[in-house]
Structures are given as structure tokens and as C-alpha cells.
Amino acid sequence: MRFNKVLEKIKTYEAGKPIELVVREFGIKPEDVVKLASNENPIGTSSAVKEAIIANADKAHLYPDDSMFELKAALSEKFGVGDENIIIGAGSDQVLEFISRALLNEHESVLMSGVTFAMYEIYARQMGAKIYKTASYEHKYDEFMEAYRMYLPRIVYLCTPNNPTGDATSKEEVLRIIEAVDPLQTLVVVDGAYMEYAAAKDPRYKITPKDLLGYPHVIYLGTFSKAYGLGGMRVGYGIAQSTVIRELYKMRPPFNISTLSLAAAIAACGDDAFVEDSIRLHQQEIKRYEAFAKEKGIAYIDSYTNFITYLFDEGMDSTRIADALLKRGVIIRDLASYGMNAIRITVGTPKQNDTFFKVFNEVTV
């Protein structure tokens, strides 16, 4: 069978390893596996969300409301934008896919930071577009502008806070980049998958969809998968001027969000207390990861997200450490495939973090 030539250059996205794999391969009991690999909310899902899912179970035979009226109304209210400014995706990943398909082809290119969310590149390659990355993993204005002028990309990705590094770009710096690009040539995608954590840490890093709605060439992406605890329900959103949203809608398959996922996301919008509690626990627990790293002489990136990235020197090998942790039932993310001798650890519950520290000590003696 012959497939599209562009597929030759695509590496399949490697998702965080599931608990089931560790159970199968290493014979560890599921309850003993500690999964700190995919930046899920360690507390779980709010009880309001669980109730909403159960209450909608008897609608499973009906197609969902394809207008997504209620979820859009909830998001409109939350962010102070119109429903014509919103598109909902099966995860913000699906919105990224719509954007790539709407703007890219083999004559176009995309620009992103040196180490960032892997899907930007994968979707761009699917369209045959060229990929340009800046030298730094941080979003540096000068590096972005130099590359921008050289390549005139169709899409500029600003992932703030950035995954898998955890650093963030200030609102001032993001606006500076947005204002320096040509609004007729380029769409700037501001991916705020972890924005709730950055906003709670330092107001200078807080960017809301409304802050960007005045720009015709910008889209803000958010997700329910991280702070809201709905990774398994697959709901994300894009917010932009209606001229952008209208085009992205042409890429959307019908009924792309299930009835239960819609119900879950609507309930999550009404439960800010759950997100606030999650962030409070996170802020307390991440301090332990910082203290642990300092104690062990390990460098780390100051995090604006729900994970922390440890940077190793030559004496430690990220792949070896990740494998050793995995064999003992602790799943974290090795960043070797991003060209970094580093690991990314989702900050878990106090108990999960205790296990991480204990097992990390065992495998690094």
C-alpha cells in the first residue's frame, strides 16, 4: 500500500504510558502504580461532574446537541466572549487539527519554540508544511522575530505555559509578538492548556481569551483536560474572532463531542471551587519537588504548570532513570525524545509524591 509521502516524516505521538501497561509488563498491582506522566489532575474529577455524567447516561442512544448551546453559554459567561467566538473540540488537540487543516499546505510553514508541544509539529507535517523552531525552549521575542521575518510562517505557536518544560511567557511578551506579526499572513495560536496554574502563580503571566479577542489573527486555546480534571472526557475549546471561528467550523465533523463529555464540561464550568482546591494542593506539593531537587543538587525549570521538569547533568541519564522508575511502578515522562536529558513529572497527590521521592532515591543511589 502506498501512503501519502508526508507520512514518511511523521513520528507517531508518544502518549504518557497507561497504568495498564505497567500492570501487564511488570506485574505491579494497578493500585500501586503511580502515574505522573500526562499532567492529569491527581485529585480526579469533581463530584458535580460525576453526577452530571451519570444523569446523562440514559441519553446515550441520542446524538448530542451539535450546536453545543449549553457549553458555549457556560464558556461565554466564564470568559465574557460571544458564542460566535467559540469552537469546541475533542480536546484542544482537535482544535489544533482544525487550525492546521484550515491554514497549512506544502507551501506554508509554522514557527514554534525549540521545545514545545509535539502535536504542533505532527499536524503541520500531516499537511506537508515546513517546521521552524527557535533555538531556545523559552519564547524569546528576538528569536521569534528573526525567524518570523526569514520564513513568514502561516502559524506561530505560543505555548504558555509551555509543555514539556513548564516555563511561561508573560502577557506583555506574548502581546509584543502578536503585534509584531502580519495579521494578513499569520495566525498566532496561544495555547493556554495550563493557564489556570500560571494565572494563580503570577498575574503577569495570566492571559484570558478576552485579552486577545481584539486581534483578528489570534486564537486562544484552552482545555478541560488539566486543571478541570476531565482528561478522559476529551473537551477543549478555541476562542477567536468570529471570522476565524467560522472557517474552523468548516473542518469540524458533526457531533465531535459526546453527550457525556458535554455534560461533564458544562458541570465543570460551574465548579470553580474544584479547580481552586486543585491548584491550592498543587502549589503546596510542587514546593516539595523544588526542595527535593535542591537537596539532591538537581536543576529544574521554574514551573507555571501542574508538572515540574528536572534537568540532569552528565552523571544522570533521563532514559535510564525513567525506565528504572517505570519498573517500580512510577510513570513519568522522559524528555530524551525532545533532545533534553530531563524528566517531566506531573505533581501528584501527597501520597503519590511521597512514592516518587522514595522510588527516585532508590533508583539514583
Ligand X SMILES: *Cc1c(COP(=O)(O)O)cnc(C)c1O
Q: Which residues bind ligand X (CB under 6 A)?
A: 91-93, 117, 159, 163, 191, 193, 223, 225-226, 231, 236
State how far the Cα of 330 lies from the Cα of 323, in Å rounded to an integer.
Answer: 9
Q: Which residue is nearest to ligand X (CB)?
A: 91
CB of 109 to ligand X, least distance (A): 20
Q: Which residues pair with 157 in a beta bridge?
A: 189
CB of 120 to ligand X, least distance (A): 9
CB of 163 to ligand X, least distance (A): 4
Q: Classify 173 as helix, strand or coil.
A: helix
State how far the Cα of 190 lies from the Cα of 209, in Å rounded to an integer.
Answer: 9
State the cell numbers at 235: 473537551
Q: Which is nearer to ligand X, 98 or 292 (CB)?
A: 98
CB of 164 to ligand X, least distance (A): 8
Q: Which is nearer to ligand X, 41 or 259 (CB)?
A: 41
CB of 187 to ligand X, least distance (A): 16
State the cell numbers at 358: 522514595
Q: Which is nearer to ligand X, 158 or 181 (CB)?
A: 158
Q: Which is nearer to ligand X, 169 or 223 (CB)?
A: 223
Cα-flanking dihedrals φ and ψ of residue 273, to 5°? -60, -35
Q: Which is nearer to ligand X, 335 or 359 (CB)?
A: 335
136, 110 Cβ separation under 8 angstroms: no
225, 91 Cβ separation under 8 angstroms: yes
* Burial group, residue 281, by CB count within 10 angstroms (0-12, 13-18, 19+): middle
What are 288-297's contacts with CB under 8 Å, separation 24+? 288/353, 288/357, 289/345, 289/347, 289/353, 292/357, 292/360, 296/364
State how far the Cα of 113 lies from the Cα of 133, in Å rounded to an integer.
Answer: 5
Q: Which is nearer to ligand X, 100 or 355 (CB)?
A: 100
Q: Which is nearer to ligand X, 193 or 301 (CB)?
A: 193
Largest CA distance in the chain: 57
